[in-house]
């Protein structure tokens, strides 16, 4: 089954409103909504903010039979081409806040784990096609950098570009990716840009987040129509 996950109400509420045959499954800290969206059986959920919530929710989704995971939400744009409203489709995800460099590991690498997690090519292709159908937005395929931090400085942006080659900054994608990778479950992260992660990002985020969250939702909707067969 396809799982669709967001971090916040604004990121899933427009999908939830259209979910048919809805059944709510309660777990500690999270509710999963099972139903049918545009004829496709799905699990839909708001996982909460940050990597711990994202990992926990992903584990629940996998236990309930998720065989593909699509994350939809907003991000701070880090790639210089990105403006508010544009869309990032993940090539891969990294955890920019992991630092075990004192023991000789590269920045972002959890000892014993992969330094990054690649998104599924078929889900990526479906997401890019759908994103290009959203009017007036630029689509960037790139690296999603996740951390339990809201990035709001030029130095933060520079670090994510230079140390990680990131396209955008958010707070969940790599946790979803890490859990999916352990289970061999394909994933993709789709983010619309609510701010550019530099000074003033907090103001832009508050102003634009609810509106641009719709773009990511439009991409998910578009993906459902052209989804490749499940592996």
Residues in 130-169 at the binding interface with ligand ADE, rule: CB under 6 A: 150-152, 169
Q: Does residue 11 bind ligand ADE (CB under 6 A)?
A: no
* Under rule CB under 6 A, residue 197 binds ligand ADE: yes
Please report whether residue 78 would count as binding ligand ADE according to CB under 6 A. Answer: no
Q: Is 205 helix (H, G, I), strand (E, B) or coil?
A: helix
DSSP label at residue 150: -
Tell me the three state secondary structure of residue 217.
Answer: helix
Our answer to whether residue 99 is catalytic in this structure is no
Is 201 near ligand ADE (CB under 6 A)?
Answer: yes
Closer of 93 and 224 to ligand ADE (Cβ): 93
Q: Residue 91: CB partners within 8 Å, gap ≥ 6?
A: 118, 119, 124, 141, 142, 143, 167
How many distinct helices (H) and strands (E) make up the chain?
6, 10
Tell me if residue 23 is catalytic.
no
Tokens 């289970």 belong to which residue? 183
Query: In the complex with ligand ADE, which residue's Cβ is closer, 68 or 205?
Result: 205
Single residue of 167, 171, 212, 216 touching ligand ADE by CB under 6 A? 171
CA distance 65 to 14: 23
Active site residues: 11, 195
Residues that bind ligand ADE (CB under 6 A): 74-76, 150-152, 169-171, 194-195, 197, 201, 205
């Amino acid at each position: 089954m396809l799982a669709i996950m967001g971090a916040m109400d604004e990121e899933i509420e427009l999908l939830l409103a259209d979910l048919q045959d809805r059944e709510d499954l309660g777990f500690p800290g999270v509710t999963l909504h099972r139903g049918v969206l545009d004829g496709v059986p799905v699990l839909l959920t708001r996982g909460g903010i940050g990597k711990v919530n994202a990992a926990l929710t992903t584990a629940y989704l996998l236990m309930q039979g998720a065989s593909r995971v699509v994350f939809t939400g907003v991000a701070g744009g880090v790639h210089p081409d990105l403006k508010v409203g544009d869309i990032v489709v993940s090539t891969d995800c990294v955890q920019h806040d992991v630092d075990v460099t004192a023991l000789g590991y590269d920045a972002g690498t959890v000892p014993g784990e992969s330094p990054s997690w690649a998104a599924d090519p078929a889900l990526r292709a479906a997401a890019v096609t759908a994103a290009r159908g959203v009017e007036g937005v630029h689509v960037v395929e790139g690296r999603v950098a996740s951390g339990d931090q809201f990035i709001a400085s030029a130095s933060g942006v520079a670090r994510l570009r230079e140390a990680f080659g990131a396209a955008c900054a958010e707070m969940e994608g790599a946790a979803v990716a890490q859990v999916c990778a352990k289970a061999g479950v394909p994933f993709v992260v789709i983010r619309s840009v609510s701010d550019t992660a530099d000074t003033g990002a907090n103001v832009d985020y508050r102003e634009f987040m609810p509106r641009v969250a719709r773009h990511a939702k439009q991409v998910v909707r578009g993906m459902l129509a052209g989804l490749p067969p499940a592996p």
